Copies of this chain bind each other. A is one copy, B any other.
Amino acid sequence: MSTQNPIITLQSAEERDRDLGFGSVVSQARNLRLLNRDGSFNVRRKQSITDSYASYYSLLMMSWPRFIGLVVGLYVAINGIFAGAYLLCGDGALQTTGGQAISSSFLKAFFFSIETFSTIGYGNIVPVTLGANLIVCVEAVSALLGFALATGLIFARFSRPTAKILFSDTAIVAPYNGITAFEFRIINSRNNQLIEVGARVLMSKFENVDGNRIRKYYPLSLEREKVVFFPLSWTIVHPIDDKSPMHGCTREDLIASDAEFLILLTGIDETFSQTVHARSSYRAEELVWGAKFGNMYVQNEHGQITGVDMDRFHAIERVALAQMAG
């Protein structure tokens, strides 16, 4: 028997379809979170390939302050380089036509470069020699390309579909219709409308199979798998009935078996009709047993629900599970 791929060998085809792709590589890893809370993966490529896309991708994903800082930094650096080039053309390459209080040749060249690269061109400093004029040509076309690149990048950053779905800090096991349910809640923390929001929840845990500790994946059936409208918050509920893979499990069982609840959300951002994705996970340790989510709805004087108070989003209240189940 092949020893190359023991996990796949042990999984049935049905089980393979459940693991969503994790199984192929990371099933052996113990005590390693599969998904981070922010939805990023916990394994990385050791990159040995460089391509132009990598820097583009970085420019796209970095924060706005870093991005603007980088643009400003490049702006200063480029003008510094051109200033150096003008200096190399000699003393008479640049001529000051008006009054000028700058005595440093480098600063004069630098300010001339700024005026050139930004296409201001006051004309208080002008290029007079062939060399300086040729450098102006190069700087002018660099500016053209630089502006176009910056504009393109800024728009690419704008047009990227992103969702900012907030997940409750904790998932809970709550009383539910005489039994209990695994629950967490989500809210769209932005002003845009998300529609057709769907959820998939997987429980992953280690089990002993023929003496080997193997990571298994179980889909959790949900009370509601999709909402067409998502105007406010949505509490996602997995009833722990006798068909649930969580049935009979205690908090200690789940922690011992290194359980992790993987959550996958998709939706359509109506602003640009773009599909957006959000991921998160809860570890067994992040699950509160015997709790319910606090009320976060704002009501008017007539008792009508008119909104959601996001400050109360993470609030849970303790309830006794035994008392409820009795």
CB <8 Å contact, A190 and B57: yes
Q: Cα distance A22–B232 when bound, in Å?
A: 9
Q: Give this chain's copy count.
A: 4
- One of A126-134, A252-260, A282-290 at the interface: A126-134
New A-B pairs, 12, CB < 8 Å, besides A21-B228, A49-B189: A25-B231, A44-B307, A51-B190, A60-B271, A111-B127, A111-B137, A115-B140, A121-B122, A123-B124, A145-B150, A152-B157, A155-B156
Residues of A within 8 A of B (CB): 1-2, 4-5, 8-9, 13, 16-17, 20-22, 24-26, 28-32, 41, 43-49, 51-54, 56-58, 60-61, 64, 68, 71-72, 75, 79, 92, 95, 97-102, 107, 111, 114-124, 126-130, 133, 136-137, 140-141, 143-145, 147-162, 164, 166, 174-178, 187-193, 195, 197, 223-224, 227-235, 237, 264, 268, 270-277, 292-293, 297-298, 302-311, 324
In-complex Cβ contact of A21 among B16, B45, B148, B230 (8 A) = B230
In-complex Cβ contact of A115 among B46, B121, B153 (8 A) = B121
Q: Which chain B residues border A143 with CB–CB below 8 Å?
A: 118
CB <8 Å contact, B101 and A54: no
- Greatest chain B CB density within 10 A among A4, A41, A48, A190 is at A4
Known: A277-B273, A304-B31. A26 touches B99 (CB 8 A): no
CB <8 Å contact, B158 and A156: yes
In-complex Cβ contact of A95 among B98, B159, B231 (8 A) = B98
Q: Which 5 A-B pairs have the closest CB atoms?
A: A21-B227, A118-B140, A152-B155, A120-B121, A123-B123
Known: A144-B75, A308-B46. A101 touches B118 (CB 8 A): no
In-complex Cβ contact of A273 among B47, B177, B274 (8 A) = B274
Q: Which chain B residues border A114 with CB–CB below 8 Å?
A: 133, 136-137, 140
Q: Cα distance A153–B45 when bound, in Å?
A: 32
CB <8 Å contact, B144 and A149: no
Shortest distance in angstroms between A218's beta carbon and chain B's nearest beta carbon? 15
CB <8 Å contact, A52 and B31: no
Q: Which chain B residues border A30 with CB–CB below 8 Å?
A: 302, 304
CB <8 Å contact, A46 and B156: no
Q: Which chain B residues border A46 with CB–CB below 8 Å?
A: 298, 307-310
